[in-house]
Structure 1
Amino acid sequence: MSALKLIIIRHCRTLETDARIVQGQGWPVRLSLKGKEQAKVLAVLLRQEQFEAVYSSDLGRAVETAKIIMRERERPDIVFDSRLREQCFGVYEGGPLITMIRRMRRMKVGPIDFNPQMGESAVDFHSRVNNFLGEIKAKHFGKAIVLITHTNVINIILDKYSRQVLKR
């Protein structure tokens, strides 16, 4: 393998996802029963995959997903990294998702360019995720790794690497 292979997993379903509640960083969120079942299915799907490392956000919903997925594997150990956390959505956390969506529409920005009031700026969020990506790319180049993270982190990764592919 000549490039870094990323197996990217979004944490599994939560009650807040179903209720359309903004989760972010400060809201204590756990997997729903459906989410736990999803993680068990992922564990089965990943049995045949060979990977050198597993990195997970240190937020509860990602931690639960990672532990269920890796429960029956001896190696590799899960590395919990705060740089894989979802963006902090400040005043919107714990509130209805539609409120934040309406605000983004008024500001004419998408999720990865949003600067939530009392939250993490888009610049800081991108910097945090890109710092992590640079580190793992150097450390695991030519290998496969698993990332267990959140929607907007995944959006940044896809945006970054799809642009690189298009430039070639």
Structure 2
Amino acid sequence: MELFFVRHTSVNVPKGICYGQSNVPVCETFEEEAEAVKLMLAGVQFEAVYSSPLSRCRKLARYCGFEDRMVLSDRLKEMYFGEWEMKEWHNIDDGKISLWYEDWINHPAEGGESFRMLYGRVASFIDEIKVADFSNVLIFAHGGVINCARVYAGITTFDKAFDSTPAYGEIVRIKI
């Protein structure tokens, strides 16, 4: 089975803002970015299409023509940063964010998730779909989710997961 993970397009959020699971708007370049994604997906047949329920993923899936076929899954949402959502990273309490920076893999954001918790959601999603007899599965998701899938597939390790986060609109193909 091959999983085609598509990261959502650019978001209209100032740099330095922690937005995780917040529903944020896409940039004004959405149509241009989405058209490029649509062209890259053209000609590939997908037996199943999944999407994060967050608006930035659903909008891209709709643009690419999968509105009627996509199944929404909460397990594909970006990492939840709890009390830090929509705050500037540099304005988060130094003591709390220091603990998180020391062990972001296991230590949850204040009132939110750790990377390992996000990984658990993504791994359970992949475990569930890999028992189906699909050749190609399309998944509209987020950078953190895609990084978890790369860890799951043995492409990278937990501690190196964010060394090469996919770009906005990038498609990452993973064989499972």
Q: TM-score range by the shorter chain?
A: 0.7 to 0.9
1:109 aligns with 2:103: yes
**1:58 equivalent in structure 2:** 53
CA distance in 2, matches of 1:91, 1:55: 28
Deviating 4+ runs (over 6 angstroms): none
Structure 2, unpaired ranges of 5+: 157-176
**2:137 equivalent in structure 1:** 145
Q: CA deviation at 1:92?
A: 1.4
Q: How many pairs align?
A: 153
TM-score, normalization: structure 1? 0.79
Secondary structure, counterpart of 2:63 in structure 1:
helix
Structure number with the higher helix fraction is 1
Q: CA deviation at 1:96?
A: 1.9
Secondary structure, counterpart of 1:70 in structure 2:
coil
1:127 aligns with 2:123: no
TM-score, normalization: structure 2? 0.75
Give, as a single letter, the amino acid of the residue that structure 2 aligns with 1:84.
Answer: L
For the aligned residue pairs, the C-alpha RMSD in angstroms reads 2.5
Q: Is contact 2:107-2:114 (8 Å) kept?
A: yes
Q: CA deviation at 1:128?
A: 1.3
Identity of aligned residues (%): 29
1:53–1:106 Cα change, 3 Å:
closer
**1:10 equivalent in structure 2:** 7
Secondary structure, counterpart of 1:162 in structure 2:
coil
Structure number with the higher strand fraction is 2
Give, as a single letter, the amino acid of the residue that structure 2 aligns with 1:62.
Answer: C
Q: CA deviation at 1:114?
A: 4.5
**Aligned positions of 1:41-52 closer than 5 A:** 41-52=36-47
Q: Is contact 2:17-2:88 (8 Å) kept?
A: yes
CA distance in 1, matches of 2:33, 2:49: 18
**2:15 equivalent in structure 1:** 19
Structure 1, unpaired ranges of 5+: none
